[in-house]
Amino acid sequence: MQKQNQEQKKSLKVSAWLGGILIAAVTIGVACSDKKASAKPNFIVKDAPKAGIVAKINGVDVTEEELIGEDKLDFHDLKKREYELKMDRLNKLLVDRLIGADAKKANLSVEEYINKNVVKGEIKIGDAEFKKFVKEKRIPESQLNPQIKERINTYLQTQKKQDLVQAYISKLTKSSPVEVYFAKPKMQVKVELGKGPLLGKADAPVKIIVFSDFQCPFCGRAAETVHEVQKKYGSKVVMAFKHFPLPMHKDAKPASEASMCINEQSTDKFWKYHDILFKNQDKLDPASLEKFAKDVGADVAKFKECFEAKKFKDHVQGDQDQGEKIGVRSTPTFFVNGQLVSGALPIESFSEIIDEELGAK
């Protein structure tokens, strides 16, 4: 037995030795090579000679706009993410410092103080709240097993707790506002309304342009928000629909072309067709597209002639080309008076920008 243990120890030492050799070999392979290192440009980091200049090549200034080029949206997303991270950290500091001060006086931890004086007991989620969430997120009834229901309930409880904490902080800062020295990034992109379908009048003070895909589930959610915005702001806003069918959605492009055949007959019928397509994203085959045309009261014969001739193929492609040129990478992508709103966000995200724009008029 002793001899066996000695053999095992010897084996382990050999393994360790071999492991060390292999690691050293890999390290040397990373650090040393017969291959010459690729040459790099000679960069010198200096302070900019003036605002907006990011580099100088052969004595000629390079502006930030030139540097970013057609990747405006990607750079904006980075700046927006940085802003959101800073705001998250600021909100956490508010909780730690403001609620923390009250918690210290009460000889409680911050969490104990929140539960006792802010939340005030157990948070209960009503049946109506649960059903509303399920409906908004379009969660199929078949997926609502006990585990999913528990996760949804926990999520809603967390959200409600955060809302209560925010309301408490709002009350604490009402007479003593928090000074913030970094601004929310804004990006102005010039996007014309074009000749596509409009919801509202072209001379409205706030112009909202959406690049969308009829087979995209997030676009389906955003389509409902479009109507909420239009209902809330009426003649103050105009919506312009632009087609951006994604390559992975094989039925999206034909659906876009079909919708334009409807728009040719009536813009009102287009928006009805628009709603039907988003509510039936799993039924965008030619037969269904024709049925939906009939459902909105379109002339089916004219629709078939237009659709089969691919009359609006170039129009749909033109929208897509325009989107790609200004940096659209996903759907839905909105521009509110040129300001980016990306994704299926709630009406509050639109209202924040719309109210600012209307206040500036």
pLDDT, residue 37, reads: 61
Average pLDDT over residues 107-117: 93
- 60: amino acid identity, one letter: V
What is residue 249's DSSP assignment? -
Q: What is the pTM of this model?
A: 0.70
Under the banding of pLDDT at 50, 70 and 90, the label for residue 35 is low
Average pLDDT over residues 161-188: 91
| Phi/psi-derived region of residue 327, left when phi > 0, alpha when psi is between -120 and 50, beta in every other case | left
Structure tokens at 242: 């632009």
pLDDT, residue 361, reads: 55
Please enumerate in sequence order all residues whose Cβ is within 8 A of that of 117, keeping only pairs 6 or more positions apart, or say none: 102, 106
Under the banding of pLDDT at 50, 70 and 90, the label for residue 3 is very low
> Helix (H, G, I), strand (E, B), or coil: what is residue 194?
coil
- 298: amino acid identity, one letter: A
Q: Report the chain's mean pLDDT, rounded to a whole number.
A: 87
Kindly state the helix (H) or strand (E) to which residue 315 belongs, with its residue range: helix 313-325
Domain boundaries, the chain: 73-172, 198-360
pLDDT, residue 1, reads: 42
Q: Which residue has the higher pLDDT, 132 or 37?
A: 132
Ranges of H-type helices in 173-299: 217-233, 252-265, 267-279, 286-295
Average pLDDT over residues 64-83: 85
Under the banding of pLDDT at 50, 70 and 90, the label for residue 267 is very high
pLDDT, residue 23, reads: 46
CATH superfamily of 198-360: Glutaredoxin (3.40.30.10)
Where are any strands of DSSP class E within the chain? 53-57, 60-63, 198-199, 206-212, 237-243, 333-336, 339-342
Under the banding of pLDDT at 50, 70 and 90, the label for residue 13 is very low
Under the banding of pLDDT at 50, 70 and 90, the label for residue 335 is very high
Q: Say whether pLDDT at 85 is over 80.
A: yes
Task: Give dist(CA 316, CA 257) in Å, integer.
Answer: 7
Task: Give dist(CA 128, CA 31) in Å, integer.
Answer: 62
Q: Say whether pLDDT at 164 is over 90.
A: yes
Q: Say if residues 264 and 296 touch (Cβ distance below 8 Å).
A: no
